């Protein structure tokens, strides 16, 4: 199945049942057995859904979709085509409703939780998954790291759209999952990728203004985030962070039951820090008259918020605090402030942080327990704006002792402009070390770190940064750090000397 195509059983569905408010032209109703949102992927008898994209208008290609066999069109305006048409206000939303209906409405068959927010979406989703598994449930998971569809684990889909989401949920239901956790970015929400999804719980971790650029305005961004709440079932509930100012502003707009979490503000679930060091942190979660101590390997205040959100969801779903604590304590998420411990005398962490807020959060979490210097390998990539990079430079100068600026990937052609934009945020740019080759940047920091120092390798997390050897081993920041720390060898993708660069270091 293509990423724009959705099919069902031979009996099909009645379109009027899915789009009761559509204006019908040329047909009073239609039995739909398949639909497609991409004109060049249409097959005979498909219902073509004309979607307005960022760079194209699907309505313009409706004649070509019909030529390829589409039997009818769903769109936002009347078109000069000779086939039944169904006019709707938002064809993206209609697309999602149709896809999920064709898939058999799988989210209605399971207890489904949606997680969104600027930071903490992936970690919170995995924490909820862990708690539910600890309670004995079969749980599906769809995040930016991976998709667990019951007995099948797949890489994350590069295209999160209604057909993909409906298909993943259908596979979870077919694999006997009782619960499903779905991570949703603001972009996927803005593009109505979650339309047709129905949720028992919706989590908003936080809302940061650093993500406004891609949405055009704060109002658009807030509107995109609240669309997750529109997916709630009549009996559904929301979990929000009372300490987050932007999220706090949404409380008056939320009409569904709300459960709040917080550390500083009054909330239904709160937490208090007991102890933190570089090996982990211990805090107490309080829910009414109940409380329990939790120790996690992931450190930092942001992780406590993530744990509170996960606890709020699962406690409301009927899981006791003891099981919740066990689920929280057992989680280590690849590339999310993940400690790399190979017996060295200094700390090393790998984190996916790339935005100014995320980098600042990672540095604060590690720096609080560090006796020596704080190093940060900061990455530049295409997702950052010029202002983001300037802010990164400002943060690095104020919060680290040693800053290394590099690229988010290992490549031959180097663009120095993003690096200079980071340097623009420094009052003393000579304090930063520029090493475009990512492997060399990591090696430089590790070889110069002293006992009790802390090294944060930020920007990529669990994602591969290079492919090594004839067997095409995917190499991540963690692999590079482990290879150097274990072997104390120079790592250079141009070197072939086995005494210097060992491919076996990266073998899975």
Neighbours of 85 (CB within 10 A): 22
Banded pLDDT at 160 (limits 50, 70, 90): confident
Banded pLDDT at 225 (limits 50, 70, 90): low
Instruction: Please tell me the predicted confidence (pLDDT) of residue 489.
Output: 45
154 pLDDT above the threshold of 90: no
pLDDT tens-digit readout, 421-437: 999 999 998 889 999 88
Banded pLDDT at 472 (limits 50, 70, 90): low
Return d(Cα 335, Cα 122) in angstroms, integer: 11
Instruction: Please tell me the predicted confidence (pLDDT) of residue 219.
Output: 62
Neighbours of 447 (CB within 10 A): 10
Return d(Cα 47, Cα 22) in angstroms, integer: 14
pLDDT tens-digit readout, 482-501: 999 987 744 444 443 433 34
Residue whose tokens read 């204006």: 23
Helix axes 121-134, 301-316, angle to 10 degrees: 40
Question: What does the pLDDT average to over 152-181?
Answer: 90
Question: What does the pLDDT average to over 332-344?
Answer: 91
Instruction: Please tell me the predicted confidence (pLDDT) of residue 150.
Output: 86
Banded pLDDT at 398 (limits 50, 70, 90): very high
Rounded to two decimals, what is the model's pTM?
Answer: 0.90
Tokens of 6: 């959705």
Tokens of 373: 């210097």
Instruction: Please tell me the predicted confidence (pLDDT) of residue 411.
Output: 65
502 pLDDT above the threshold of 70: no
Instruction: Please tell me the predicted confidence (pLDDT) of residue 223.
Output: 66
Banded pLDDT at 332 (limits 50, 70, 90): confident
Superfamily of domain 5-102 in CATH is MurE/MurF, N-terminal domain (3.40.1390.10)
Instruction: Please tell me the predicted confidence (pLDDT) of residue 248.
Output: 74
Instruction: Please tell me the predicted confidence (pLDDT) of residue 498.
Output: 39
Between these two residues, 251 and 148, which has the higher pLDDT value? 148
Instruction: Please tell me the predicted confidence (pLDDT) of residue 494.
Output: 44
- What value does the mean pLDDT of the chain take? 88
Question: What does the pLDDT average to over 384-397?
Answer: 93
> Residues of CATH 3.40.1390.10 domain(s) within the chain?
5-102
Banded pLDDT at 330 (limits 50, 70, 90): very high
Return d(Cα 367, Cα 377) in angstroms, integer: 14
Q: For CA atoms 53, 56, 60, 64, give the dihedral sign.
A: negative
> How far, in whole angstroms, is CA 368 from its chain's centroid?
26
- Let me know: does 491 contact 484? Beta carbons within 8 Å: yes
Helix-, strand-, coil-residue percentages of the chain, each rounded to 5 = 35, 25, 40
- H/E stretch holding 247: helix 245-248
Among 186-200, 342-356, 492-506, which stretch is predicted with the lowest mean pLDDT? 492-506
Banded pLDDT at 413 (limits 50, 70, 90): low
Return d(Cα 72, Cα 70) in angstroms, integer: 6
Among 124-133, 153-162, 196-205, 451-460, which stretch is predicted with the lowest mean pLDDT? 153-162
CATH code matching the domain that covers 106-329, chosen among 3.40.1190.10, 3.40.640.10, 3.40.50.360, 2.60.40.3880: 3.40.1190.10
Question: What does the pLDDT average to over 373-378?
Answer: 96
Neighbours of 59 (CB within 10 A): 18
Question: What does the pLDDT average to over 150-171?
Answer: 86
DSSP letter for 1, please.
-
Banded pLDDT at 99 (limits 50, 70, 90): very high
Question: What does the pLDDT average to over 405-421?
Answer: 80
Instruction: Identify the CATH number of the domain defined by range 338-506.
Output: 3.90.190.20
Question: What does the pLDDT average to over 61-72?
Answer: 95
293 to 312, 386, 487: CA distances (angstroms): 15, 43, 38
> Residues of CATH 3.40.1190.10 domain(s) within the chain?
106-329
Question: What does the pLDDT average to over 222-241?
Answer: 86
């Amino acid at each position: 199945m293509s990423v724009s195509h959705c099919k069902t059983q031979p009996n099909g569905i009645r379109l009027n049942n899915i789009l009761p408010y559509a204006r019908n032209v040329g047909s009073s109703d239609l039995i739909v057995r398949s639909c497609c949102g991409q004109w060049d992927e249409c097959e005979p008898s498909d219902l073509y859904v004309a979607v307005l994209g960022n760079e194209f208008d699907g309505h313009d290609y409706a004649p070509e979709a019909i030529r390829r066999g589409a039997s009818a069109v769903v769109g936002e305006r009347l078109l000069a085509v000779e086939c039944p048409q169904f006019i709707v206000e938002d064809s993206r939303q209609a697309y999602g409703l149709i896809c999920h209906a064709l898939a058999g409405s799988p989210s209605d068959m399971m207890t489904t939780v949606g997680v969104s927010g600027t930071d903490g979406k992936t970690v919170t989703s995995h924490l909820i998954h862990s708690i539910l598994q600890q309670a004995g449930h079969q749980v599906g998971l769809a995040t930016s790291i991976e998709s667990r569809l019951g007995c099948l684990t797949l890489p994350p889909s590069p295209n999160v759209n209604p057909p993909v989401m409906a298909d993943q949920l259908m596979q979870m239901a077919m694999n006997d999952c009782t619960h499903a956790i779905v991570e949703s970015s603001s972009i996927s929400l803005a593009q109505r990728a979650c339309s047709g999804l129905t949720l028992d719980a919706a989590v908003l971790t936080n809302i940061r203004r650093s993500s406004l650029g891609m949405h055009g305005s704060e109002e658009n961004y807030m509107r995109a985030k609240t669309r997750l709440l529109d997916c709630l079932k009549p009996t559904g509930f929301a979990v929000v962070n009372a300490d987050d100012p932007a999220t706090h502003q949404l409380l008056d707009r939320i009409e569904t039951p709300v459960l709040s979490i917080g550390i500083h503000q009054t909330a239904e679930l709160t937490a208090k820090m007991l102890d933190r060091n570089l090996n982990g942190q211990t805090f107490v979660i309080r829910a009414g008259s109940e409380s329990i101590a939790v120790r996690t390997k992931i450190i930092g205040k942001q992780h406590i918020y993530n744990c509170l959100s996960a606890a709020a969801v699962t406690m409301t779903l009927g899981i006791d605090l003891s099981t919740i604590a066990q689920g929280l304590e057992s989680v280590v998420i690849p590339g999310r402030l993940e400690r790399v411990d190979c017996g060295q005398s200094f700390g090393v962490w790998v984190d996916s942080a790339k935005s100014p807020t995320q980098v600042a959060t990672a540095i604060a979490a590690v720096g609080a327990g560090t006796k020596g210097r704080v190093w940060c390998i900061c990455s530049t990539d295409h997702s950052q704006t010029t202002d983001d990079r300037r802010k990164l430079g400002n943060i690095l100068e104020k919060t680290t002792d040693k800053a290394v600026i590099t690229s988010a990937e290992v490549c031959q052609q180097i663009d120095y402009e993003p690096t200079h934009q980071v340097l623009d945020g420094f009052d003393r740019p000579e304090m930063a070390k520029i090493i475009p080759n990512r492997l060399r940047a990591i090696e430089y920091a590790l070889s110069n770190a002293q006992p009790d120092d802390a090294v944060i390798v930020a920007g990529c997390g669990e994602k591969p940064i290079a492919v090594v050897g004839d067997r095409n081993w995917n190499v991540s920041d963690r692999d590079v750090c482990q290879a150097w720390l274990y072997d104390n060898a120079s790592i250079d993708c141009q070197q072939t000397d086995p005494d210097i660069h060992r491919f076996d270091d990266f073998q899975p």
